[in-house]
Amino acid sequence: MKKKLGIMILAAVLMVAVCTAASASLYYVTGTSVRVRSGPGTDYDIVSHLSRGTKIDVLSTSHGWARMTLWTGSDEAYISTKYISRTKPSSNPTPARPTAAPAEQAVYKNFVTANYYAIVNSANNYVNMRWEATKASQVRKVYYYGAKLKVIAENAYWCQVMDEATGEVGFMLKSLLLRVDDNTAAAGTGTNG
């Protein structure tokens, strides 16, 4: 009798484990350095960052947020559904317009060609390089305080910058950069873009 009871308990535990594992869906992170939060919203603490192509187990989705398990297996965290997909993303997403071609820059959101250097000068100690000149755009790369970048185009709010070491081109909020090739400051401090 005890043996039968033990087998029945073991079978029940295994069924719960299988059902729990089956309820999670495999997704991939499509953004670069995507924030993982302690709750479903931007007002919750950031607990980690995930890179493009990272596999995650999503337990459920609701109101633009995916509930996922952390690698510890016991803690749960949340990631925006804008930055995940069931299909694995390519290793290098196609860059957003404009590219580094100066002829296109002037007509893209009132950008004009520029040629100076600036450093990251944010109160948060880092600035997001984005694919497009909008805070809604995905983050391409994160740069930390003091990083020097070449500004190749600008408008009133954004700079199109180039990392000459890697050749990467993206956009940063102008207010988070400090012009360094002369004595004119192009920016102050603010929140990361």
Q: What tens digit of pLDDT does each residue of 107-126 get?
A: 456 788 889 999 998 777 88
Strand order in the sheet with 177-179: 139-144, 126-130, 169-173, 158-162, 148-154, 112-120, 177-179
Strand order in the sheet with 46-50: 46-50, 34-37, 76-80, 65-69, 55-62, 25-29, 84-85
Please count the CA atoms within 13 angstroms of the CA of 186 that sit on its side-chain side: 25
Q: Quick: pLDDT tens for 137-187.
A: 888 889 999 999 999 988 888 999 998 888 888 899 999 999 997 544 444
What is 102-179's CATH number?
A: 2.30.30.40
CATH 2.30.30.40 segments of the chain:
23-85, 102-179
Task: With a cut of 50, say whether residue 189 has pLDDT above it.
Answer: no
Q: Which CATH superfamily is domain 23-85 in?
A: SH3 Domains (2.30.30.40)
| Residue listed under structure tokens 């990251």 | 120
- Please tell me the predicted confidence (pLDDT) of residue 124: 75
* SS3 of residue 27 by DSSP: strand
Q: What is the band of 73 on the pLDDT scale with cuts at 50, 70, 90?
A: low
